[in-house]
Amino acid sequence: MSAAPGGGRSNVSQPYALMGILNVTPDSFSDGGRFLDAEAAIAHGLRLLGEGAGILDVGGESTRPGAQPVEAAAEIARVGPVLEGLRGGLGEARVSIDTSKLAVAEVALRAGASIVNDVTAFRAEPELAGLVADAGAECCLMHMLGEPRTMQQDPRYEDVVDEVKAFLAERLEFAVAQGIDERRVLLDPGIGFGKTVEHNLTLLRRLDELAALGRPLVIGTSRKSFLGKLAAGAEADRRLPGTIATNVLAFERGASVFRVHDVAAVRDALAVAAATLDGRWTGSGETARI
């Protein structure tokens, strides 16, 4: 999907993109271990593309609450074969590497990735910004309070929206100062990353304030624990209704990239939302590029 410069929705038929989650990890909260085998991961990635994903977000290190860090070499060993295996089947889709490590990003960009999705927003390894700039790649910068092992230990804010907005504005400024074209930056408020249920709901409710930063917003609510808390303790595999609801609400408030496990279901929900909100329906069923 092609976002209009300066933010906002584009005028193409579907003003959003679906980012399919491909976790090549043993310990991700929802699907840990299911796609640790490279062949299984490649097959799943191709399924996500077939369901309508315009971006595949490949990650080799879990960032769930309490997750332990992974050495770069282990992360590369997990994602490298998957990236190479996907190369011939991407078509118009793109690959994002979910990492905060320079060494992993270097390997991924050489293997065809064109987006670096860094949950630390270049704080873990600031030199990663220079790599993205030199490669002419895109990046996604996310807000996280603390780091995965500690982020859910009593997170507090004076005003979560104002603080997340200020953080994202500062990290956007840093990325541009390092040579990254502002038009190549996506921003993610980090739903579930150092936030309580109320923090997450407030961010979703006031998402238009973050959209005012002028860059495409990435939303990652898929199967997250706060949805289970809102839905009578639903386990991860029963959180699709909440995932759909939060993505539709986020779209209405200005988000344009949706990072999800269940691509087909969210695709259909967003197609209906877009047709309703924009007052037009193309019938094409195509997912646009961001």
What are 163's strand-pairing partners? none
Nearest to 219 by CA among 240, 204, 202: 204
Nearest to 17 by CA among 120, 82, 92, 121: 92
Q: What are phi and psi of 76, to 5 degrees?
A: -65, -40
Q: Are 17 and 287 in contact (CB under 8 A)?
A: yes
DSSP state of 40: H
To the query of whether residue 259 is one of the catalytic residues in this protein, the response is yes
Name the catalytic one among 195, 206, 215, 259.
Answer: 259
Name the catalytic one among 9, 78, 223, 224.
Answer: 224
Nearest to 216 by CA among 190, 193, 182: 182
To the query of whether residue 165 is one of the catalytic residues in this protein, the response is no
Distance CA 219, CA 12 (A): 20
H-type helices in the chain, by residue range?
38-51, 72-86, 102-110, 128-135, 160-177, 197-205, 207-211, 225-230, 240-252, 263-278
What are 17's strand-pairing partners? 257
Nearest to 144 by CA among 110, 116, 167: 167
Which amino acids are annotated catalytic? 224, 259
